Amino acid sequence: MNLKISNTLSKKKELFKPINSKNITMYACGPTVYDSPHVGNARSLVVFDLLFRILKKIYGDKNVTYVRNITDIDDKIIDIAKEKNLPINKITEEVTKQFHDACKNLNCLEPTVEPKATGHVNEMVKMTNSLIEKGFAYENDGHVYFSVSSFKDYGKLSNKNLDELKAGSRVEVSVHKKNPLDFVLWKPSQEKDPGWDSPWGRGRPGWHLECSVMSEKYLSKEFDIHGGGLDLVFPHHENEIAQSCSNNSTSKMANYWIHNGFLTMNKEKMSKSLGNIVSITDALKHYNGQVIRLALLSSHYKQPLDWNEKLLDQQKKTLDKWYSLYEENYDQKKIPNCFESLLDDLNTPEYISKLHELYNEAFNGDKDKKENFNYACRLIGLFNENKKSWENYKKKSVKISEKIIINKINERLEARKKGDFKLADKIRIELLNEGVLIEDKKDETSWKYK
């Protein structure tokens, strides 16, 4: 099985060739735990979970190392703790719990390693000191910056030259910098803020440094895949490459850089400034995690995806249909042919289209076809709860009570007896819109959750 993936570094789709086929190495940027994770974060989470599953299927469960970090020290965390007048660990622990709950509800596999930034500060101090000694970084009044001009390949990932970057990129302004593009490796901490001892005084690490240190510790100086959202290409991933390659005297940090597209709402990027952020927790109040997962996989990971009720309702209807063929126990006889779609740069829209075809074949087919369909659904992380659990979800998603449903049905029966078929049809549509499907058999009417 040959996997092809789009590489942001080369700007083309490439055949994946691992450094070591017995140990595939992948790092994906995890959450900065200062606020509830939102559905934009969920897209990256699900995309790289899918890639993890694919790699395990190709190379074996024990031959893939997936590292996804947690950033639990950052200016955003400090600011929100001050704003809410809460201890920082109270914020980070609560948001980390929300994140893990989201992972569970979206049926994401646990990564091989999930390091926290605060557990690796000593290594960050060591790397910063090494970059200074090698002439790639400098200290000024307790601040340590990486000198961008010292790294000749800076801008290669984002495909920008230094002049373009100076003109319009989002970089931190500071009087302590020699060059506006230089980025922070270490900064002083105020008395009441979190801080660690260092040769440059009490302070804390920069965000970019954290990922470089953790990926190297658990993977290597050079590893196979580095992933994250499209918004991380610059400056985060560009800066990771610069500091890691400079410190390790390597030409590459990761061989393949994979980035998922943005989630939008009404064709606008989700952002706090626009007030259109939807938290995963809120989304789960209205939709099952499988519905959200399927919605996030419905578009190719590189393309933007517009988040709306129509999209989610469509995925719910699809899963309602597919669950009619759910099997608790099934034999994994062979990988379905539709798996080839995932090997072609994670082409989930094509895979889902083929799942519909498999469903149609299995609906009136034999046991083997039903098992094949069940296996294909599970390959992308669906069917993680049994049929009874899914039926309970459908029941809970209906907003009207059984008493009201029965009253409506009786009202409709009376209308039919009187020959008022217009009213009867209106009641049927009202119930359908509430998630209740009614069926007439002679003089009796039955109902079920659609």
Alpha carbons 118 and 72: distance in angstroms, whole number: 6
Alpha carbons 85 and 175: distance in angstroms, whole number: 30
Do 354 and 341 form a contact (C-beta atoms < 8 A)? yes
Task: Answer yes or no: same fold for 18-264 and 309-390.
Answer: no
Alpha helices in 159-288, H assignment, sequence order? 162-168, 207-218, 238-248, 280-286
Q: Is the N-terminal amide bond of 199 cis, ω within 30° of 0?
A: no
The per-residue pLDDT for 276 is: 82
The per-residue pLDDT for 320 is: 94
Phi/psi at 445 (5° precision): -125, 125
Residues in the chain: 450
The per-residue pLDDT for 447 is: 83
Q: Where are the domains of the chain?
A: 18-264, 309-390, 398-449
The per-residue pLDDT for 171 is: 57
Alpha carbons 136 and 258: distance in angstroms, whole number: 27
The per-residue pLDDT for 401 is: 74
Residue bearing tokens 């597209």: 261
Domain 309-390 matching CATH 3.40.50: the answer reads no
Q: Per-residue pLDDT for the chain (450 aa), expressed as one digit of tens each? A: 899 999 999 999 999 999 999 999 999 999 999 999 999 999 999 999 999 999 999 999 999 999 999 999 999 999 999 999 999 999 999 999 999 999 999 999 999 999 999 999 999 999 999 999 999 999 999 999 999 999 999 999 999 887 776 654 555 667 789 998 999 999 999 999 999 999 999 999 999 999 999 999 999 999 999 999 999 999 999 999 999 999 999 999 999 999 999 999 877 877 766 778 899 999 999 899 999 999 999 999 999 999 999 999 999 999 999 999 999 988 887 899 999 999 999 999 999 999 999 999 999 888 899 999 999 999 999 999 999 999 888 877 766 777 888 888 889 988 888 889 888 888 888 887 777 888 888 778 888 766
Side-chain-side CA neighbours of residue 83 (13 Å): 9
Exposure b/e, 164-182, CB count within 10 A at least 16 = b: ebeeeeebeeeebbeeebb
pLDDT tens digits for range 172-227: 667 789 998 999 999 999 999 999 999 999 999 999 999 999 999 999 999 999 99
> Looking at residue 222, what DSSP letter applies?
S
Q: Indicate the fold that domain 18-264 takes in CATH.
A: Rossmann fold (3.40.50)
Q: What is the pTM of this model?
A: 0.88
